[in-house]
Amino acid sequence: MSDDKRMMMSRRQVVGAVGIGMAASAAGTAISQDQSQGSTIPQRSEVTMQDPRAKYPHPPFKQQTQAWPGLARDMDPRPDHGETSYQGSNRLAGRKALITGGDSGMGRAAAIAFAREGADVAINYFPTEEPDAREVVDLIRKAGRTAAPIAGDLRDEAFCQDLVAKAVEALGGLDIIVSNAGRQQAKPSILDITSEDFDATMKTNIYAPFWIIKAALPHLKPGSCIIATASEQAYDPSPELYDYAQTKAATMNYVKSLAKQLGPQGIRVNGVAPGPIWTPLQISGGASEEKYQHFGSTTVFGRPGQPAELASIYVQLAAADASFATGNIYGSSGGHGQP
């Protein structure tokens, strides 16, 4: 090897060594700075664990029958919809949601969570549920989001079409539909169900989503989503809920069918299947007095769920990072099993 080549290699080695040394020095300085400036490294806060068995009230519950559809504000204990507990992280910033049955139950929990995640929200409710709806509207507005309360009867096709039009106008568009409102009236026997009762349940639980989705679809762009509230009754029906259980089985199936139909358009469709959840549905004819007094006692936690415990499921299904989730039913039933 010539002297010139040896000198060139030597120079390269020296330069390389200097470069490595500078990088190491910089890294060491950065580490030193991070260690000396504790604020630059997120510190772990101590986690407070919560026992799900003791988190919420257990049965027996006091006698408290209300006229249909009932009010959450008059229940004892009052259901928890996340009014004080749900904290958002901007996961739905700028989104625009329409939620039926948004005054109480899972609809109310979803409305509160969506608003605190940055979404504007229109809620539908039956006119007699106005007191509950006003509370939800106040919570949405306190979160700094637009709230659009729209009262009316979902059993009417013209109203369902008007509902969508009003929501689009109030929010400036739509990209989330939560079809949550439901009618449940327990009857010991099929002989106790009148044709009028059967028709009212079918129109509320099956016709209304059909009418609303049809009206909303022209407004839904790729990235939009539809979320239905199904039930454990879809796959484990109670004998006294003959008509209601049928509608929830149909809901589970329309989710799967519609997901296949709308997937090529970039629209996702999913459902949530709750187990026993403490809502006005139970004390306004949805369960017998004997049953609601012991409501939720058969779960593994010995209590019913609260709407707040399902809020994060609705948020996850609406959020963009769940972009591969469609045609699925997400259960939350306290150990009762899943579809």
Look up the domain containing 248 and give its range: 89-332
What pLDDT was estimated at residue 43? Answer: 61
Answer whether 86's CB lies under 8 Å from 311's CB.
Answer: yes
Res 44: pLDDT: 63
Structure tokens at 272: 């949530």
| CB burial of residue 178 (10 Å; 0-12, 13-18, 19+) | buried
Question: Residue 12 falls within a domain, yes or no?
Answer: no
- Taking phi over 0 as left and psi of -120 to 50 as alpha, with beta for the rest, 66 belongs to beta
Per-residue pLDDT, 137 = 98
Instruction: Give me the amino acid identity at 37.
Output: Q
Q: How far apart are CA 333 and CA 310, in angstroms?
A: 10
Task: Answer yes or no: are the C-beta atoms of 240 and 187 closer than 8 Å.
Answer: yes
Are the C-beta atoms of 167 and 95 separated by less than 8 Å? no
Q: What's the order of all strands across the beta sheet hosting 120-125? A: 147-151, 120-125, 96-100, 176-179, 225-229, 268-274, 329-332
| Encoded tokens for 249 | 């089985």
CB atoms within 10 A of CB 87: 9
Which residues are CB-neighbours of 16 under 8 A, at least 6 positions away?
Answer: none
d(CA 188, CA 169): 44
Q: What pLDDT is recorded for position 46?
A: 78
Domain of 109: which CATH number? 3.40.50.720
Please identify which of the residues 86, 235, 242, 244 carries the catalytic annotation. 244
Whether 235 sits among the annotated catalytic residues: the reply is: no
* Number of domains the chain is built from: 1
Domain assignment present for residue 323? The answer is yes
Transcribe 233-289 into DSSP letters: GGTS--GGGHHHHHHHHHHHHHHHHHHHHHGGGT-EEEEEEE-SB-SHHIIIIIS-H
Q: Do the Cβ atoms of 110 and 178 come closer than 8 Å?
A: yes
- The answer to whether the predicted template modeling score (pTM) of the entire model surpasses 0.95 is no
- Judge residue 255's burial from the number of C-beta atoms within 10 Å of its C-beta, 0-12 exposed, 13-18 middle, 19 or more buried: buried
Would you say residue 39 lies in a domain?
no
Report the DSSP beta bridge partners of residue 228.
179, 271
Is 115 inside a domain boundary? yes
Residue 307 CA to residue 120 CA, distance in Å, equals 20
Provide CB contacts within 8 A for 280, sequence distance 6+. Answer: 66, 69, 70, 71, 72, 75, 104, 105
**DSSP assigned state of 117:** T
For every residue of 23-80, DSSP letters joined together read HHHHHHHHHHHHHH-GGGSPPPPPP----TTTSS--SPPPP----TT--GGG-SSPPP
**322 belongs to a structural domain:** yes
Pairing type for strands 120-125 and 96-100 reads: parallel
CB 277 within 8 A of CB 292: no
Structural domain includes residue 250 = yes
Asked if the structure places residue 109 within a domain, the reply is yes
- Which segments of the chain have a pLDDT < 70? 1-45, 338-339
209 in a structural domain: yes
Cα gap 73→278, rounded to integer Å: 12
Can you tell me the distance from the alpha carbon of 93 to that of 156, in angstroms, rounded to the nearest whole number? 32
